[in-house]
C-alpha cells in the first residue's frame, strides 16, 4: 500500500525534468559544496541546471554573478562555517546590486527562515527536496527584488531527472535511492532528506548505460543505505540483482557503492560482489562503535559480533578486499570500557582506512538532547588513541601490498607533492590511492586511462610506484578519450582545482575530524 497522509496517497517524486527558464543575458556562477557524497552529487545537478539556464562558470580570478552554497548540517559548527562565508560576500553585494547568493542543501532544509534572518546577502533559500526549483527562484528573486525561500517537506523530482554537469567524464555517481528509513540517534539526515525513495532498476541502468556511452568507465552507486534498496517495491534482493546487472554493461569497468548498513547487509550482496566481474574488491562498512551498549544507544540494529562476521564472510569470498569504515568517538555516555571495545573491534577488523569522527551535538537528534555529553578533552584524547591505532594498521596493511602489481584508474587530481615528485595519481581497484611515476621515455597517461604498475613503497594513506620501463603498462581507454574531449570542449575551463568544482570518487582519507556519515 502507498504511504498515506490524511487519507491521501503520498505522490511518488516526478521523473520528468522541470521547466527551466533561460536567461536573457548569460551570467557567471560558482558552486561551493560542503559535506558528503550526496551533496557532491547534488552539486553536479545544480551545476547542470545553471548551465542549462544560461549560466557559465566564473573565470578564475573574477567575481561571479551568482554564488550557490550547497550546505551540510551534520557538524555542530556547520552554520558558523556558512555564515562566515556569507559575511565575506557583503562587500561584493554592496558593489554589485545584481550579484546573487543562493543557499541550499541540508542546512537550508533545517534552518529555513533563519538563514534569511541572519544574512542579508542571501537572495534564495532552497532545500534538499526541490533542487530543480533553483533557476526559477533566482529569476523570481531578481524580478521581485526580494529574497525567495522555498522548502518542501518531500522530494519533488528525482535528482536523476535533472540536467547534470559531471566533474569528470570518466567516472560518475548514480543515485539509486534518496532518503533513509533508519533512526540512528546521532543522525539528522533522515529528517532533512526524508524517507527512502527508490528508483526503479530500469531507470538506474539506463542512466549508467548513458554514462558509459559518454565515456565513463567507473560508476559509484549512491544511497543513504544502498543495501536496503528495493524496500519501496518489495524486493529484498534488489540491490544484489542491480549489482549483477551492472556486470552485464559493456564498457563499464568498475562498479562501486556507498554506503551500506551492517544490519541489512546480506550474503546475496557478498555473492554478487564476488561473482560480478566489474564489482570492485572494496567495501565501505560503517562501524560507528565497537561497543554493543553504545550501538544500542545509537539505535544501530547490529552488534559487534555480527559486524565482524560480515567482514569475515567478505574476506572469505573476496580475499584481497579493502574494507573501510566510519567510527564515532565520544558518543554521549561512552565509557572507557566502551571505547576499549571499539579499539578491540578496530584491531580485529584490519580496516585499510577509517573515517574517524569526534561526536558533536546535532540539534534535533535524540543524542543531542542527552545530558551525559562527554568533556571535549576526554573525546580528544580517545580520538588521538584511535587515530594512532588505525594509522598503524593502515600502514601495515599497505606495507603488505609492496611488490604487488596493481591496475590504476588515473585521476585528474595529483598529490600535493606532485610538483616536486613529478608523480601522477590513480586509484587501484580496491580504491587505494597510488602516486606513480612514468618511466623516462614512456607515454604519459591521461585521466581516465589505466596503468599497470608495481607497488614500490607504502605509507598509511597512500602507496607509491616508481616502475622501471619494463614494469610500466599503459592502456588508453574510452575514459581517457572522454576526458580529452571534455578538455578540448571547455578550452581548459574544467581544469582541476577551479573554485566551485566538486570531485568524484571517495574522498581523501582524513587525518582529523570529519562529518558523520548517515549510514
Q: Which residues fall in the annotated binding site for [4Fe-4S] cluster?
A: 36, 72, 106, 180, 184, 187
**Cell 614500490 sits on residue:** 456
Secondary structure element (H or E) that encloses residue 384, with its range: helix 376-399
Write the DSSP assignment of 158-198 as a string of letters.
Answer: -GGGS----S-TTEEEEESEES-----TT--HHHHH-S-EE
SS3 16: coil
424-428/405-410 β-pairing: antiparallel
SS3 333: coil
Q: Is residue 331 within 8 Å of residue 300, measured between CB atoms?
A: no
Beta strands in 72-138 (DSSP E): 100-105, 124-126
Report DSSP state, residue 53.
Answer: T
**Cell 573525546 sits on residue:** 379
How many angstroms separate the CA atoms of 127 and 109, rounded? Answer: 5
Torsion, Cα 122 127 133 136, to 10 degrees, reads -10
Q: CA angle, 488 as apex, 210 and 204 as ends, to 5°?
A: 15
SS3 343: helix
Q: Is residue 295 within 8 Å of residue 282, measured between CB atoms?
A: no
Residues paired with 406 in a beta bridge: 453
**Cell 544511497 sits on residue:** 223
How many angstroms separate the CA atoms of 512 and 163, rounded? Answer: 35
- Please give the C-alpha separations between residue 119 and each of 68, 78, 500, in angstroms, as whole numbers: 14, 15, 21
Secondary structure element (H or E) that encloses residue 337, with its range: helix 336-349
Burial of 236 (0-12, 13-18, 19+ CB in 10 A): middle
Q: Detail the residues annotated as belonging to a binding site.
A: 36, 72, 106, 180, 184, 187
How many angstroms separate the CA atoms of 173 and 216, rounded? Answer: 10
**Angle (deg, nearest 10), helices 238-246 and 201-213:** 20
How many angstroms separate the CA atoms of 85 and 141, rounded? Answer: 21
How many angstroms separate the CA atoms of 505 and 410, rounded? Answer: 12
Q: Cell numbers of 225, please?
A: 543505505
What's the count of helices (H) and strands (E) in the chain, helices before strands? 16, 23
Secondary structure element (H or E) that encloses residue 48, with its range: helix 37-52
Amino acid at each position: 500500500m502507498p504511504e498515506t497522509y490524511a487519507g491521501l496517497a503520498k505522490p511518488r517524486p516526478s521523473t520528468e525534468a522541470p521547466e527551466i527558464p533561460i536567461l536573457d543575458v548569460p551570467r557567471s556562477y560558482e558552486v561551493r559544496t560542503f559535506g558528503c557524497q550526496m551533496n557532491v552529487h547534488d552539486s553536479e545537478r545544480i551545476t547542470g541546471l545553471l548551465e542549462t539556464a544560461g549560466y557559465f562558470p566564473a573565470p578564475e580570478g573574477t567575481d561571479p554573478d551568482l554564488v550557490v552554497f550547497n550546505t551540510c548540517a551534520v557538524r555542530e559548527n556547520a552554520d558558523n562555517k556558512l555564515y562566515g562565508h556569507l559575511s565575506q560576500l557583503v562587500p561584493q553585494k554592496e558593489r554589485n546590486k545584481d550579484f546573487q547568493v543562493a543557499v541550499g542543501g541540508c542546512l537550508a532544509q533545517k534552518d529555513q527562515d533563519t538563514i534569511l534572518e541572519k544574512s542579508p546577502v542571501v537572495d534564495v533559500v532552497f532545500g534538499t527536496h526541490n533542487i530543480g526549483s533553483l533557476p526559477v527562484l533566482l529569476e523570481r528573486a531578481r524580478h521581485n527584488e526580494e529574497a525567495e525561500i522555498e522548502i518542501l517537506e518531500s522530494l519533488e523530482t528525482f535528482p536523476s531527472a535533472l540536467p547534470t554537469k559531471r566533474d569528470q567524464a570518466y567516472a560518475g555517481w548514480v543515485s539509486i535511492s534518496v532518503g533513509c528509513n533508519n533512526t540512528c540517534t546521532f543522525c539528522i539526515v533522515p529528517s532533512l532528506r526524508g524517507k527512502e525513495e527508490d528508483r526503479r532498476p530500469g531507470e538506474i541502468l539506463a542512466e549508467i548505460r548513458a554514462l558509459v556511452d559518454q565515456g565513463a568507465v567507473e560508476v559509484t552507486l549512491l544511497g543513504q543505505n544502498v543495501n536496503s534498496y528495493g524496500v519501496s517495491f518489495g524486493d529484498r534482493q534488489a540491490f544484489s540483482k542491480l549489482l549483477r546487472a551492472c556486470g552485464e554493461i559493456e564498457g563499464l569497468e568498475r562498479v562501486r557503492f556507498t554506503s551500506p548498513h551492517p544490519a541489512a547487509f546480506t550474503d546475496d550482496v557478498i555473492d554478487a560482489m564476488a561473482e560480478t566481474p566489474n564489482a570492485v574488491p572494496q567495501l565501505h562498512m560503517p562501524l560507528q562503535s565497537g561497543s554493543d551498549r553504545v550501538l544500542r544507544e545509537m539505535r544501530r540494529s547490529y552488534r559487534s559480533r555480527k559486524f565482524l562476521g560480515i567482514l569475515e564472510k567478505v574476506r572469505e569470498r573476496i580475499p584481497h578486499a579493502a574494507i573501510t569504515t566510519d567510527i564515532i568517538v565520544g558518543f554521549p555516555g561512552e565509557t572507557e570500557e566502551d571505547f576499549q571495545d571499539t579499539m578491540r573491534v578496530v584491531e580485529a577488523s584490519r580496516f585499510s582506512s577509517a573515517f574517524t569522527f569526534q561526536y558533536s551535538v546535532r540539534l534535533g537528534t535524540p543524542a543531542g538532547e542527552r545530558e551525559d555529553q562527554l568533556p571535549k578533552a576526554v573525546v580528544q584524547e580517545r580520538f588521538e588513541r584511535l587515530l594512532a591505532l588505525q594509522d598503524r594498521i593502515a600502514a601495515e596493511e599497505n606495507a603488505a601490498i609492496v611488490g604487488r602489481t596493481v591496475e590504476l584508474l588515473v585521476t585528474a587530481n595529483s598529490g600535493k607533492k606532485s610538483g616536486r615528485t613529478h608523480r601522477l595519481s590513480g586509484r587501484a581497484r580496491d580504491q587505494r590511492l597510488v602516486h606513480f611515476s612514468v618511466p623516462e621515455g614512456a607515454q604519459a597517461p591521461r585521466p581516465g586511462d589505466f596503468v599497470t604498475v608495481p607497488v614500490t613503497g607504502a605509507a598509511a594513506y597512500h602507496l607509491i610506484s616508481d616502475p622501471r620501463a619494463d614494469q610500466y603498462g599503459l592502456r588508453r581507454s574510452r575514459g581517457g578519450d572522454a576526458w580529452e574531449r571534455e578538455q578540448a570542449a571547455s578550452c581548459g575551463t574544467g581544469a582541476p582545482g577551479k573554485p566551485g568544482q566538486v570531485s568524484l570518487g571517495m574522498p581523501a582519507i582524513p587525518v582529523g575530524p570529519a562529518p558523520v556519515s548517515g549510514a
